[in-house]
Amino acid sequence: MRTLWLGLVSLIWAQGTIRGSVIDNEGEPVVGAQVLLLPLQKGTLTNPEGLFSFTGVPFGSYKLRVTALGIDTIWAEVSIDKRHPVATLKLQATTRDIEMQAVEITESLAPTRIDPTRVTVAVTPISPRQVLLLPSFGVPDVAQYLQVLPGVVFTGDQGGQLYIRGGTPIQNLTLLDGAIVYSPFHTLSLFSLFETDLLRQVNVYSAGFGAEYGGRISSVIDIRTRAGDFERLGGRVYATPFVAGASLEGPTYLLRHSSWLVSARQGYIQQATPRLYPYLRDSLPFQFQDLYAKATFGRGPDQLQVFGFRQTDRVDLGPNGLNRWTQWGTGLTFANLPSGTRVRITGNLAYSRFANTFEDPRELRPRYSTIGGFNGGFTFSYLFGADELAYAVEVRGFSTDFLFTNGLGFITQQKQSTTEFAAYARYLKAFRRQEIGPDGEVRLLTRAVIEPSLRLHFYNTYGYFSIEPRLRAKYTGTQWSLQAAAGRYTQNWVAAVSDRDVVILFQGFLTAPELPANRQLAHPLQEAYHLTLGGEYQLGPTLLALEGWYKRFTQLTIVNRERLFPEDPTFLTEIGYAYGIDFSMRYQSSQWYVYGTYSYQYNRRSDFRQTYFPLWDRRHTANWLLAYRWGGLLTTARLRESRWECSLRWTLGSGLPFTQTLGFFEKLLLLQGSQSPYPSQQGQLAVLLSPHYNAARLPAYHRLDLMVKRRWRIGSAFLIEANFTLLNAYNRPNLFYIDRISARRYNQLPILPSLGLTGSW
């Protein structure tokens, strides 16, 4: 018996780990590649970071074979022994030169196959190629593509907002390379701050996201930019009637495996619209500018990236005011896969700042709001074959400065600094089995994935410790899958604007607001609980998905719009809930791409006096995006595009709620109480609203956009693209809002044709 135990111990200690990474020619991870360990016939798949791991491998010499669509097969030799029990391989794939290049382009558009290795419920990945297919105002932009996603409600083209599955913009966390972005969209809501050409991947978490994200109670938009070209100098310039921009990239030449990338974009909509579109009833008084720069050192799993960005926005309303804001930030991210250990270390550190000023001649003083802060953290992750363990620590610090004077002359001012500390742990367990087919090839079948996680978040200002469990799970059959996600979420930020405003130009931010003492609160934070259930079905090349979701907002903080006296509270609390059903279908072939969505959504809020529909409560939303490419392929050293391309997008939305006007009255300012000279006072014209808030509905919204592209190749490296876009092709007069005083109707964008030209090399 003693001999048996000694043999077992020796066998266990005579085992090691073989792990590594797989990247492509551009230094990006190869996801889902099959890695086979020979002669053990043991297989695994690379994760979203291109990493793989074999544990419990007996000491000895082995061969690795890596295969994936679009790359040449990789062979590598590796050995592990008692002195070196952990072997780390860093493999680079070579793109396969095949004739069916159109298939490669199609595969890179969007996932149309069920991924059994990851929980994808309430997560929508967006690639740059998807965005570029969209008929767009000016240039294709993430802000416009977000509007076609299921569960997203867009309230208007000019000063409207994006609401994701029942949550407001302040309840959405936007990250750019790990840095917090306070205002991700320009005032003309058709443009984000992110140049499409720079994007590597955008993931939109509309509900039930994991513990790696925190500090928001509704949704997450995680944006990752790509590295510059490591091999050759490249660039892109473009011009349209609304915006022009340029980007440059290339190797640094000073350091091996390093690159740089810069981008600039200028919007001149205010200057262009009176000349090019004289039929517009009102000009579009918007100007904006975006700058971005990034340097990358290292390729693959060992990498350091340093970046910076700056955005400005200006809306000149003439006698109605001037709105200006500036946002900038800088940061770094790093990743390291140290040899001889089983851990991978990643981290980030960033600082960003947002400042907004609104000058209204009718107000006593300008509105002013700034927020600035840092965020950073370290993540340690381990791969155990198909399983993954990750834990992290994070810290955030913010300072806000807010000044606002209402129509009665009451001043709301806050200067506040706060710090938040967080830690989380996440474990992904994959139930995978391995089969050997008749041809002798190894097949990996993942039937189930469960991903529990826990976030511990400490809000220093309140001294409150929040425990936030999360759970995501998936079961995959032969042609279908079932998924679920749930969790608890909290946040400390409050928007210094009302959720009841349709047009929002001025954006104010507050942190750690003082809540009214007339209600007994369990804690001072905003809080929500999520539950999402979903299913997928593979119908040939078409992927069908159905998701049902529910969010319960157990505590919300809003601005007190009815504050009459200085002693009245500045903020009030609300409760609410939202639920909906989202359906989507996605089909693609070598020439066609079809994406369709339908959403049913129901939102309710209560301020403890009445229950009402919030302004983003759009009951039905449908979107169709169709694209067709033909005419063969044009190939350069960096690009591969079709000669012709056309696309259309049609959207339909049922009417948004609004509060009806009952009449008008003279409003007296009784600032001195009973001593106010009200008999001789010249009052203000005020609107008498219905006591039933948002009880009526606006007309339905629908619009058709069209786009045609033609490309030419000049030489072996230069590609020119001309595009014609027609927005609102049948000139639908979609109502934006009606001015209650003048009864003037303001419509959203009318028919807008445009021509654009792009040069890439």
Any residues with CB less than 8 A from the CB of 177 and at least 6 apart, and which?
223, 224, 225, 294, 305, 307, 331, 333, 348, 350
What pLDDT sits at residue 503? Answer: 66
Distance of CA 687 to the CA centre of its chain: 38
Strands 611-612 and 592-606 come out as antiparallel
Whether the pLDDT of residue 420 is over 90: the answer is yes
Whether the pLDDT of residue 300 is over 90: the answer is no
Whether the pLDDT of residue 443 is over 90: the answer is no
Helix (H) or strand (E) holding 710: strand 701-714
Write down the H helix ranges in 305-354.
Answer: none
- The 10s digit of each residue's pLDDT in 532-580 is 999 999 999 999 999 999 999 999 988 776 666 667 777 888 999 999 9
Please tell me the CATH code under which domain 12-92 is placed: 2.60.40.10
Q: What is the mean pLDDT of residues 619-648?
A: 88
Domain with CATH 2.60.40.10 in the chain: 12-92
pTM: 0.92
Q: How far apart are CA 189 and CA 53, in angstroms?
A: 44
Whether the bond between 39 and the residue before it is cis, its omega within 30 degrees of 0, is: yes
Q: Give me the CATH topology for the region 123-664+684-760.
A: Maltoporin; Chain A (2.40.170)
Distance of CA 696 to the CA centre of its chain: 32
What pLDDT sits at residue 565? Answer: 66
Q: With the CA atoms of 755, 644, 139 and 136 taken in that order, what torsion angle do they form, in degrees rounded to the nearest 10?
A: 90
Q: What is the mean pLDDT of the chain?
A: 87
- The 10s digit of each residue's pLDDT in 705-726 is 999 999 999 988 889 999 999 9
Q: What is the mean pLDDT of residues 286-296?
A: 94
Reduced to 3 states (helix: H, G, I; strand: E, B; else coil), residue 746 is strand
What pLDDT sits at residue 3? Answer: 45
Q: How far apart are CA 166 and CA 580, in angstroms?
A: 9
Please tell me the least confidently modeled range out of 323-337, 497-511, 591-605: 497-511
φ, ψ dihedrals at 274, nearest 5°: -65, -30
Chain position carrying tokens 């297919």: 133
| 465 C-beta neighbours (distance < 10 Å), count | 11
pLDDT confidence of 419, banded at 50, 70, 90? very high
Domain with CATH 2.40.170.20 in the chain: 123-664+684-760
Chain position carrying tokens 């797989």: 22
Any residues with CB less than 8 A from the CB of 197 and at least 6 apart, and which?
128, 236, 247, 263
- The 10s digit of each residue's pLDDT in 664-680 is 887 766 555 555 555 66
